[in-house]
Structures are given as C-alpha cells and as structure tokens.
Amino acid sequence: MADDLLPVDDARARILSGLTPTAAETIGLSEGAGRVLARGVTARLTQPPADVSAMDGYAVRAADAVEGATLAVIGSAPAGRPFAGSVGAGAAVRIFTGGFVPAGADAILLQEDATAAGDRVRVNESVKSGRHIRRRGLDFAEGAEVLAAGRRLTARDIGLAAASNNPWLAVHRRPRIGILATGDEIALPGDPIPPGGIVSSNAHALAALVRASGGDAVVLPIAPDDTHAIAEVAATAHAFDMLVTTGGASVGEHDLIQAALGGEGFALGFWKIAMRPGKPLIWGRLGRTPVLGLPGNPVSALVCAVVFLIPAIARLSGLPGAPPPTRRVVTAVALAQNDRRADYLRATVSLDAEGQLLVTPAAVQDSSMLATLARADALVLRAPHAPALPAGAEVEAILLAELGV
C-alpha cells in the first residue's frame, strides 16, 4: 500500500507550515550567542570613529617623509589618547595601532622604517600618502544595520554587536518544548524496572537535542499507557510552544494517544512516513500547541528528531527551518538498491588518502541499536528506490556533528 506512505519532504513541509516563530524578548548582549535576532542590530557609532593608524610608527606628512629626511617628533597618539595638535611641515607624531591620525598628517611611517633619536626620527623609507591609515567608518558606519533580523548569533556577531555599541538585543524567545514519554513498560534510569520493562532513554536524548538546537526542553514525568494520564498532560500543553511525545505512535498504540489527546482540541493526524527508521509519526495540535508524536523506538525517535524536530525548532526560533544540511561524501562499501522508504543509514566517517570524507554504514542497521547510532558520525541518505551503488560512489549524508547532536 505504497500510497499510504507520506514522503519525508511532504511531511516536513506540512509540519513547518503549521509553525510560527516565537515572540521577541529583550536580552543582554552577553546572553546572545546562539539566539535568533527578532530585530536587526544597528550600529550606534562609526568604527573606526576617525581615521586611525593601522600600524605602530609615526604620523607624518607624506610630502616630508622622504628617505633620509629627519622629522621632529612633537607628541604621541596612542590608541585612546588622540594628539590634540596638528602635524606641520617637518613634524611627526609617534602613533600606535588604533591611534587617531592627527590633523595635518596623511600617512604613517612604520617604526621599522624609521630610526628614533631623542625627539627626532629619521625616515629610512619614503612613505606614500594614505598608507597604513584606516579610514573612518571602514568597519561600519553609525545607523547601518550590522546584523539582520532572523540571524542566529555567533560569537563573532556578539563581538560586532558589542563593538557597534549595543548592550541589548531583541531575540525570539527560545521555543519551549515539552517532552512526554509514554508507556507502562518504561522506567527512569536508576529507578526500579518493571518486569519486561526497559529504561526510558528517549526523553533525555530528545531534551539534549532540543537544547542543542536552541530550544528549552521540559521533560515531563513518564505517562503510563492510560487515557486519563495522557489527557492530564495534554491539558497542560498550552504551556509549550510544542509538545513532543515519544512512544504511543505505533499501530497498536496510536489509538490510545489519539483518544487521550483528541478530547483536548483538534483531532490529531497519524502519518506513516516513507522513511526508515521511523515510519509512524503523529502530527497535530492541542488547542494552539503543535504536537509532534515520535516513535517509541529510540533510534527511530532520534532520526525522526533530526529530520523533523530540529527543523521545527528552527522555524519556531525564527529561522526558516530547512531540511538538515547534507554533504556529498563517498561510500566505503557497496550499497544495495533501496525500497520505497527513504533510508537513513547510520555510518561512521573517516578521511580517505585524498582528504575526502568517506562513510561506512554499520553492517547491521537494526533500528533498535542505540549503540550503533551513538557511534555513528553521519546518516547516509538513500532516497526511495535509489539504485545500488558500488564502493567509491558519491552519496549525500547528514553529518551529525554539524547539527550539534
């Protein structure tokens, strides 16, 4: 029943189209790294504020500073302490990198091209007008937008916002993501494990992924497979920008989640996605809160989170929410023809002799193997019905380190 399966790109597009960025908040510059600007940052000063020296040396008049000439040193202009006077004929002012070029001077004589002797300096190499001077506004001018709305701020951007005199920033609030693991059989790490049960790992891994992607993660207590318990959590969904559930998405379980959540708002959709691992997905809305229901299988949950949740958090954060970036890499082993589901092969990455990225998919791709996923550096993309490929062929891969997960 191929027509039952929703292509990955269609599913992601539907999810993203239902999301709107969070509102703005004001934060201190020192909290800004990694945040997404809700408003552009405008320079509140001009940098450099005047013509400044790019080097240590002497501010001179180029016409006078010819090889063999001797100039009178009439003062100094270190960074931050402008020389108040003017450089007349035959004069020079000692200057340091960042120092304002004094009135009258039009060039910098490098200190390595000069010989100082008391209050005089000998020119050992002629200078050209304008040399080693950084013009006023070379970096940015007051009033110019130095960082645009919608940009996720790097450490360098923080430096630029600081240098342009902006102690405050308007950014999108971090999306607050509630994470709900469901299941009678799961226990928190270290807690007593019920007979036949397993330790809950999804909520903790997803919380780390949410934080690495710029969201605030709220891990909710585990809900048993019980309509009432799940409905109780659902009633608090309004506190979140998105509710992520894990478990309760397979064929035998989704009726429960559906029934439990259905009472709180619009009906939820149950999608079978044309992907492996991670076929079943719930998508819908409780009141105003979007709900993404991931599979209970840990590998499926994390791969689905890479494919759907990280872009969703990006969109909520004020970014476009693009598909995970892929790189063209070389497969170290032959790959079989793929069936109708997009495959995300867990693979390690190494560098070949020519410095190319080489991927080696794990020999066993069973979706229960969390250790294999943890050891993986990449997810190799195999499109639906992709043909068999020999070792050495190029493939597309998601490099997990690039996503910070």
Chain positions 109 to 128 lying near a second copy, rule: CB under 8 A, are: 111
d(C-alpha 9, C-alpha 320), whole Å:
15
d(C-alpha 117, C-alpha 73), whole Å:
10
Buried b / exposed e along 153-190 (16+ C-beta atoms within 10 A): beeebbebbeebebeebebbbbbbbbbbbbbeebebee
Pick the binder of a second copy from 71, 146, 180, 257 (CB under 8 A). Answer: 146
Report in angstroms how near the CB of residue 184 gets to a second copy at its nearest: 5
The answer to whether 346 touches 302, Cβ cutoff 8 Å, is no
Opening angle at CA 112, ends 108 and 113, nearest 5: 65
Q: Where are the beta strands (DSSP E) in 100-203?
A: 107-110, 114-117, 120-123, 133-134, 145-147, 168-172, 176-181, 186-187, 198-199
Report in angstroms how near the CB of residue 66 gets to a second copy at its nearest: 25
The answer to whether 341 touches 276, Cβ cutoff 8 Å, is yes
Residue among 8 and 146 whose Cβ is closer to a second copy = 146
143 forms part of the interface with a second copy (CB under 8 A) = no
140 forms part of the interface with a second copy (CB under 8 A) = yes
Residue among 71 and 349 whose Cβ is closer to a second copy = 349
Looking only at residues 62 through 81 of this chain, which bind a second copy when binding is defined by CB under 8 A? 78-81
Looking only at residues 333 through 362 of this chain, which bind a second copy when binding is defined by CB under 8 A? 355-356
82 forms part of the interface with a second copy (CB under 8 A) = yes
165 forms part of the interface with a second copy (CB under 8 A) = yes
218 forms part of the interface with a second copy (CB under 8 A) = no
DSSP bridge pairs for 110? 57
CA distances from 157 to 29, 147, 164, 260 (A): 10, 7, 10, 45
Pick the binder of a second copy from 33, 116, 239, 334 (CB under 8 A). Answer: 33
Pick the binder of a second copy from 117, 155, 353, 363 (CB under 8 A). Answer: 155
Look up residue 400 and give its DSSP letter: G
Residue among 286 and 303 whose Cβ is closer to a second copy = 303
Please count the residues of the chain: 405
d(C-alpha 306, C-alpha 351), whole Å:
24
Q: Which stretch binds a second copy (CB under 8 A): 12-20, 24-32, 269-277, 284-292?
A: 24-32
# residues near a second copy by CB under 8 A? 94
Report in angstroms how near the CB of residue 293 gets to a second copy at its nearest: 16
Pick the binder of a second copy from 22, 182, 200, 245 (CB under 8 A). Answer: 200
Residue among 49 and 387 whose Cβ is closer to a second copy = 49
DSSP letter for each residue of 3-20:
GGEEPHHHHHHHHHHT--
Looking only at residues 228 through 257 of this chain, which bind a second copy when binding is defined by CB under 8 A? 250-252
157 forms part of the interface with a second copy (CB under 8 A) = yes
220 forms part of the interface with a second copy (CB under 8 A) = no
315 forms part of the interface with a second copy (CB under 8 A) = no
Looking only at residues 36 through 55 of this chain, which bind a second copy when binding is defined by CB under 8 A? 45, 47-50, 52, 54
Residue among 121 and 286 whose Cβ is closer to a second copy = 121
Pick the binder of a second copy from 14, 56, 73, 348 (CB under 8 A). Answer: 56
Question: Which single residue is written with the structure tokens 């304002």?
Answer: 100
Report in angstroms how near the CB of residue 15 gets to a second copy at its nearest: 20
162 forms part of the interface with a second copy (CB under 8 A) = yes
Pick the binder of a second copy from 22, 164, 258, 289 (CB under 8 A). Answer: 164
The answer to whether 10 touches 3, Cβ cutoff 8 Å, is no
Q: Which stretch binds a second copy (CB under 8 A): 59-67, 229-237, 337-345, 371-379?
A: 371-379
Query: Can the peptide bond before residue 295 be classed as cis, meaning omega within 30 degrees of 0?
Result: no
Torsion of CA 368, 6, 285, 183, to 10 degrees: -20
Looking only at residues 257 through 286 of this chain, which bind a second copy when binding is defined by CB under 8 A? none
